[in-house]
Amino acid sequence: MGRAVRHLFVAGCVVLWLVPLYLMAVNALTPAAEYAGHPEWTVQGFALWENLDTAWTVAGIGDSFQASLLYSVVCAAAAVLVAAMAAFAVVVLPIPRPAFWFWLIYSGTLFPLQMFLAPLFGLYADTNLYDTRLGLMLVYAAWAVPFAFFLIRNQMAVMPAELTEAALIDGASFRRIFWRIHVPLMRAGLGAAFIFQFTAVWNDLLLGITLSRSGEVQPVMAALTTLNNAYSSTGPPVILAGALIVSVPTLLVFLVFRGLFLKGVTASAAAR
């Protein structure tokens, strides 16, 4: 009986997730001029390519898509690298008060993002970083470090200390130990952290609408809200086509790297 209830609950969750996706796909096919003003449950026409072209070129979501791809890949990779080095310092290096440094770095995930927006906006306006790709890349990389550090540190904490001790006896430096031993052994954890941070940066809206305004700098989620405002009167199919474009990268990342992601998450969970 308990198993049947669990299966029913899971099936209900799957349906709740699939229904909005189905409605988005079906209504994105509808010609904008023929949209009736309410969601359609069946296909009423096929204008997907026209709607995608309007969203990509006419509405300018293509520039923001490329900007978000740059932010997500570069900032997630930089954050994972910095987080791995910080985790190595906290777990392996003989630094004083490692617990203090752990909580100091991890505290970046404990405070709401909204409390940083006003100081960030003032700082960016004073330093000419507002509405620049460099400005967004800096804040995205810094924002992504604490959670990546948490995941990587958990996995690194359960690695045998004998590995480091044997390498030190053989004359290896800490730099060599990090790059030649810990990084290869933690490939799955680093990959999982990268996927998490790639998704977080790609889905960001708050920082995007606060620290940028031009189309070539704005991340894609901010551009999607602009698309919603611009095309709310001409037809939701264009907006839904833009939503389809936006959902593709994260879906591909999870499908391509799902094995690596599951191994990394499992390793981090086991470490806890």
To which CATH superfamily is domain 63-271 assigned? Answer: MetI-like (1.10.3720.10)
Closest CA to 197 of 107, 78, 87, 76: 76
Kindly give, in sequence order, each residue whose CB lies less than 8 Å from that of residue 168, ignoring residues fewer than 6 positions away.
177
What confidence score (pLDDT) does residue 238 get? 78
Closest CA to 245 of 76, 62, 108, 95: 62
How far apart, in whole angstroms, are the C-alpha atoms of residue 271 and residue 265? 10
- At 59-94, the pLDDT tens digits run 678 888 889 999 999 999 999 999 999 999 998 888
- At 106-148, the pLDDT tens digits run 888 888 888 888 888 889 888 989 989 999 999 999 999 999 9
Q: Which helix (H) or strand (E) holds 183?
A: helix 183-185
Kindly give, in sequence order, each residue whose CB lies less than 8 Å from that of residue 202, ignoring residues fewer than 6 positions away.
68, 71, 72, 219, 220, 221, 249, 250
pTM of this prediction exceeds 0.85: no
| 3-state SS, residue 216 | coil
What are the extents of the domains in the chain? 63-271
- At 7-26, the pLDDT tens digits run 788 888 888 888 878 877 77
> Which burial class, exposed, middle or buried, applies to 15 when counting CB atoms under 10 A from its CB (0-12, 13-18, 19+)?
exposed
What confidence score (pLDDT) does residue 29 get? 74
How far apart, in whole angstroms, are the C-alpha atoms of residue 167 and residue 177? 7
- For tokens 């991890």, the residue is 106
